[in-house]
Amino acid sequence: MPIHLKAYIRKGEGKTIEFKETLPSKNQIAKTVVAFSNTAGGKIILGIADKSRAIKGISDDLVMSWPDLIANVIYDQCYPNIIPEISMIPFEEKSLLIVEIFPGSLKPYYLKKKGRSKGVYIRVGASNRMADDDMIQELERQRMNISYDEQVLHQYTPDHLNLSKLSADFKELAGTTLDFSDFLNLKLLIKEHQYHPTVGGMLLAPQKNLSEFEYSSIKAARFKGNDMDEFIDHKEFRGALYDQVNMAMNFARQYIAKNGKILELQRIDQYEIPLPAIREALMNAVVHRDYSLRGSDIKFAIFDDRIEITSPGALPKSIEIEDIIAGRSEIRNIVIARFFKEIKYIEQWGTGIQKMIRQCESAGLKAPHMIESGLFFKIIFFKPDSSHSPTTHQLPDTTRQLPVTTRKKAETRLNQFEDYPVNARKIIQYIQEKPVITRKELARRLGMTENGVKYHIKNLSRDGIIKRMGKQWCLL
């Protein structure tokens, strides 16, 4: 335990650790114990200052008297009954008292004096937060060992599902045909007197966008610079969850630039961040996010120096970031996860994060940074340092306007720019066809904002592909 204590102290307070220099109030003890029981369990370590983490220790007399006092507080104030494990640990010539609370199997636990509606607490980061009605329902599902996406929606019928589209997509992706019994086996539908869709069914095969599930989307944005003050383009992707992943990947291809370098007389082009790593992170967000958190969607943000993918929901139960890096996996959404595995979007449980890290390291990038903050989980990909980024093109310094008579050659020349996003290549094409074209007209033709056009033009100008001369554009 002393070895673990050093790690706990170094890491600081969090989801499963709380430091107290002295014995807190009875209400604080009960609240923390309830929160630990409802979440991932945890340890209250007495004798350590919570802010400075200084080892203060407690006297021998208190080591003898506090355990009974703490056990009585928990028995008197918490329900259902919670059994703590209390022990004294010698550490750096001082005594510490550790109150260990295990994840409960009779959730939701609550404070007796506040009752079930107001006395349920959960652990969010290093604080205790009162649970709302949705969270209390989630705790009840955990007690019954039912995931949120298995929940039956009695107000809806199979007609609210687009099963024909899902069947066609499944055949294309998995190579097999679904019949009605498969919808039941996959728990897209449940029979309770009549057939009703599950939450998973509604998320995987929505007939139309229902307000009840409007939060189950991906919001993507390309921001200008390294903060969120101004965006260049933004999109919201709705519909079947597996379609959302594909739409988000199209957005990634549009706004993640490619770098080119020469290796053994051959040009090698690659995206700034490997697209397979981005795809793994997006699938991880879609499959493992907490859909019971209403009003929260997945955020896919592209900045100049990084990419962030944020999903609602803390890591499940007792899993820490170190665990998922090591390959440990715990499925939060059983219906969704199984479907993604059936359509071969997931190969093997617990390998996605490891693959993502390897792909970035193989590309010479920093390993992705993972953060659990409150009720959200975020993965950050770092782009290459600009000083080390390979140049995309080596171009002559002289400029000239492209004559119409050379258009056929120019169309062949467009193949040079295959490493650029689709819209950037279209801008090159429109400029060579009409050198006086305006940004407004480009935006209309491309179906995007003028800020989006401005972003691509800035990159093309920076790389020496196009140049503004008077009232017209020139290709270099």
pLDDT along the chain (476 residues), means of 10: 73 90 95 95 94 92 95 97 95 93 95 95 91 91 92 94 96 94 96 95 90 91 92 94 97 87 63 94 95 91 95 83 82 94 85 89 90 89 62 31 40 54 82 85 83 81 77 76
163 C-beta neighbours (distance < 10 Å), count: 19
In which residue ranges of the chain is CATH 3.30.565.60 found? 218-333+343-388
Question: Which positions ≥6 away from 338 have C-beta within 8 Å?
Answer: 186, 187
Residues 273/441, Cβ–Cβ less than 8 Å: no
- 176, burial (CB in 10 Å: exposed 0-12, middle 13-18, buried 19+): exposed
110: nearest Cα among 90, 132, 80: 80
440 C-beta neighbours (distance < 10 Å), count: 10
Pairwise CA distance, residues 68 & 64, whole Å? 8
* Cα–Cα distances in angstroms (integers) from residue 153 to residues 160, 161, 192, 204, 332, in the given order: 11, 12, 11, 14, 18
> According to CATH, what is the number of the domain 2-143?
3.30.950.30
Beta strands in 14-154 (DSSP E): 17-20, 42-46, 78-79, 85-91, 94-101, 110-111, 121-124, 127-130
Torsion from C-alpha of 365, 367, 368, 372, nearest 10 degrees: -160
Please report the pLDDT score of residue 8 as a whole number: 84
Instruction: Estimate the crossing angle of helix 450-462 against helix 439-446, to 10 degrees.
Output: 110
How would you label 441-456 residue by residue, b for 16+ Cβ within 10 Å and e otherwise?
ebbebbebeebbbbbb
Instruction: Pull the structure tokens for residue 164.
Output: 């024909």
In which residue ranges of the chain is CATH 1.10.10.10 found? 404-475
Pairwise CA distance, residues 63 & 96, whole Å? 8
- 3, burial (CB in 10 Å: exposed 0-12, middle 13-18, buried 19+): exposed
Question: Which positions ≥6 away from 83 have C-beta within 8 Å?
Answer: none
156: nearest Cα among 111, 214, 210, 91: 210
In which residue ranges of the chain is CATH 3.30.950.30 found? 2-143
Number of residues that make up the chain: 476
> According to CATH, what is the number of the domain 404-475?
1.10.10.10
Pairwise CA distance, residues 360 & 270, whole Å? 12
Peptide bond into 24 cis (omega under 30): no
Please report the pLDDT score of residue 185 as a whole number: 96
* Cα–Cα distances in angstroms (integers) from residue 128 to residues 97, 125, 188, in the given order: 21, 8, 35
For the chain, report the end-to-end CA distance as a whole number of angstroms: 67
State the architecture of 218-333+343-388 in CATH terms: 2-Layer Sandwich (3.30)
Instruction: Pull the structure tokens for residue 81.
Output: 């009954």
94 phi/psi in degrees, rounded to 5 = -135, 165
Please report the pLDDT score of residue 51 as a whole number: 84
Pairwise CA distance, residues 218 & 308, whole Å? 12
Using left for φ > 0, alpha for ψ between -120 and 50, and beta otherwise, residue 464 falls in left
